[in-house]
Amino acid sequence: MADRKYSPHQQRIIKNYYENLENIQNQKLGELIADVYLAETDKKKASLWKRVEKVLTHLKVHPKTVAYIVKNRDIETLSEIASELF
């Protein structure tokens, strides 16, 4: 894939995506918090918490903090961390 050539327009799109990746992840985390809060089934909550864990890891939150939040499914602490990241 390294030999693939992108048009200047495509290069700008890719560049802008990576420049704004942290903002994209922050927005995704906010949406996930709302989804976790509103989720009704345990199966849905479990899949959402896995996604929360991935997003927190991408945002470089301390691994022990991520483990604590996901293990305890602590939505209040998750909300506090999200507000710090914004």
Rounded to whole angstroms, the Cα distance separating 21 from 59 reads 9
Rounded to whole angstroms, the Cα distance separating 83 from 71 reads 20
Long-range CB pairs of 74-77 (<8 Å, 24+ gap) are: 75/33, 75/36, 75/37
pTM (whole model) above 0.95: no
Rounded to whole angstroms, the Cα distance separating 46 from 58 reads 19
pLDDT tens per residue, range 2-59? 668 999 999 999 999 999 999 999 999 999 999 999 999 999 999 999 999 999 999 9
Give the list of residues 6+ apart from residue 57 with CB closer than 8 angstroms, or none: 63, 66
